[in-house]
Chain A
Amino acid sequence: MDAQELQRRIDGFSRWHYRFDFDGGISTPIDDNVDMNRHEQRRRYFFDALLRLCDGSLKGLRVLDLGCNAGFWSLQAAEAGADFVCGVDGRQMHLEQAQLVFEAKGIDPARYRFEQANIFEHDFREQFDVVLCLGLMYHISKPVELFEIFDAVGAELVVIDTSVSFAPASHFEVSRDRNMDDPRNAVDYEIVLVPTRGALIELAAEFGYETVPLAHNMTDYTGMSDYRIRRRLAFICARTRSLAALPREQPPPLEPWWNALLNPARRGWQRARS
């Protein structure tokens, strides 16, 4: 593919969520350059942790990327040496973008496949070693069925990056993805279940996974406010591999309620008044 054709095909999409850089200085346009830092920090945060667990390379491993968007994380996996990457997404546009990216990057077509499907209706016949579930869990309403998929594909390692509810208990907050047209949102229901940290760990344990919430290692929180306030976390779940080497994010200390009044940043009623 020559540079002009690539540029034309990139421009053919109305929206890119991730920035990809190709040869000849061509890159995909993203809404906000702040996102660049965000994706770089996220890579450092959970993708490097995954690589560390796998001794620096995904060689010999098959990777399933659920909710793959434009294939950004699939590409990271392929570039980290994964034998095969399967990306699944509910929206046709994302799959076309991912196809384009992999083609332009010159990845061997035998090493990847992208499929359009509602993951809960998809029949996963193959086995995978690693499942990437990044930015997906808080867009769905079926957390238990999600883990059934991990179980069905025989995943040994699962990386989950998700918004979490702040509560110190084990529950799922019911929330809503109001705009079903937003390409990032789920394809079936508006209603979504957002786990608390405890709920996710307990749910994973039910399926035989040990889970570690990853300690933050961000160098720059620009565009990362959800991570900064610990509203968003990444988890690594493993069946047999030891996770002892991973730095663990400590749960926030339980504060007495009056601290909220003393801390000006958390005085919601004052902010509302001004």
Chain B
Amino acid sequence: MQAEELQERIAAYPLWHYQFEFEGGIRTPLVDRARVNRQRQRRQYFFEPLLRLTGGTLEGRRVLDLGCSSGFWALQAIEAGADFVLGLDGRDTYIEQAKLVFEAKGIDPARYRFDQANVFEYDLQERFDVVLCLGLLNVVAKPVALFELISRSQAPLVVLDTGISRAPTKLFELSRLLETRNAIDYGMVLVPSRRAVIDLAGQFGFDALPLALDIADWTSMEDYRRGERLAFMCANGVTTGALALEPEPHRNAWVAAAQRRLRRRDRGR
């Protein structure tokens, strides 16, 4: 693809959620520049631990990316050596963007597929080794059905990044999406608390391990900082000894906030 053509096709989309860089200095535009830090920090936060568990590479592994958006994480997986990536998303704009990105990056078309589908109606027949479920659990109303799909893929490793309720007990908070256009099926969603995620994953045989929030730069990472978002490494029969875990916050919200602040200050030193 020629540089001008690529530039033109990128410009055809009014909104990109991730910054992709192509040859010749071409980039996808972001509304908020600070989000570049967010995607960098999130990669450090949950994608690097995944690579650490798989020995630094995803070679020989098939990856399923649920709610793939414009394919940023699918691309990370391919660049980390994954054999094949299947990306699912409900909106065709995202699927088109992802296809454009992979084409422009010159990825072998035999190594990926992007399908526009409602994840709850998708008839998944293939097996996968890793599932990426990033920012999806907190925008659906059917958490159990989502895990049924994950468990159908028979993957022993799931990276689960999700908005969470700060409640100290096991519960799903009934909440509403601010932008209903993001809704998969309903504007109403069930947001799990940390303990609910662990319990739910446990029901499907996964050990859900909350990853330690060792974030170097908190710019644009407000939700993680406030304890309203967390990533979990869910493992079913995989040794996870090397991972640093995020301790459970104190039951009292004020104490928890103070502890978070203290921990962050300690890390800053």
Interface of A with B (CB < 8 Å)? 141-142, 144-145, 165, 169-176, 189-191, 193, 198-199, 202-203, 206
Contacts and interface: CB of A to CB of B under 8 A. Distances in A.
Contact of B142 (A144, A173, A174): A144
Contacts of B190: 144, 172
B141 to A, nearest CB: 4
A144 B174 contact: no
Interface in B155-213: 165, 167, 169-174, 186-188, 190, 195-196, 199-200, 203
A183 to B, nearest CB: 21
Interface in B87-143: 141-142
Contacts of B167: 171
Given A191-B144, A193-B172, A174 B196 contact: yes
A171 B173 contact: yes
A172 B144 contact: no
A142 B144 contact: yes
B29 to A, nearest CB: 36
A206 B188 contact: yes
B200 A174 contact: yes
Contacts of A142: 142, 144-145
Main secondary structure of the interface of B (DSSP, over half): mixed
Interface residues of B, number: 21
A144 B203 contact: no
A189 B190 CA distance: 18
B174 A202 contact: yes
Interface of B: 141-142, 144-145, 165, 167, 169-174, 186-188, 190, 195-196, 199-200, 203
Contact of A199 (B144, B170, B174): B174
Contacts of B200: 174, 191
Nearest to B170: A174
A203 B172 CA distance: 13
A172 B200 CA distance: 13
B174 A203 contact: yes
Given A171-B167, A174-B172, 5 more contacts: A171-B165, A171-B172, A173-B170, A189-B203, A191-B199
17 contacts: A142-B144, A144-B188, A165-B171, A170-B173, A171-B171, A171-B172, A172-B171, A172-B190, A174-B171, A174-B200, A189-B203, A191-B144, A193-B172, A202-B174, A202-B188, A206-B186, A206-B188
Contacts of B187: 206
A193 B196 CA distance: 10
A192 to B, nearest CB: 10
Q: Indicate the member of A171, A173, A203 with the most B CB atoms within 10 Å.
A: A171
A165 B200 CA distance: 18
Contacts of B195: 174
A-B interface, 3 closest residue pairs, ranked by CB to CB distance from nearest = A174-B170, A170-B174, A172-B172
